[in-house]
Amino acid sequence: MENLIIISSAISALATIAIAYYAFRAHNLTKEMRRTQENRDQEVSDLYQAIVIATLLSGPTASNIGSLTPTFEKLYNGKTKIF
């Protein structure tokens, strides 16, 4: 009877360790996925901002594209490198 209690306790301890390990792994995976999604969201936001600035700068008065690049870089404040 005592052996049965010891075996049951050991199995419960091993199960608790396994559950803790998988919970820790799931937490780290979720955190990494959230970080990746935040990076993608930032890149998309930067892309939209770049498109708007480029559209505004490339109107009918835009004659020299080379001179517009410094203006674009001055107006663009995103983290993603465009040029």
pLDDT tens for the chain, 83 residues: list them: 788 899 999 999 999 999 999 999 999 999 999 999 998 998 888 888 888 877 777 766 666 666 777 777 777 777 777 66
52: helix, coil or strand? helix
* Residue extents of the structural domains in the chain: 2-75
* Torsion-angle region of 46 (φ positive above 0: left; ψ -120 to 50: alpha; else: beta): alpha
| 52 and 24 Cβ atoms separated by less than 8 Å | no
Taking the alpha carbons of 30, 36, 39, 45 in that order, is the dihedral positive or negative? Answer: negative
**pTM summary value:** 0.55
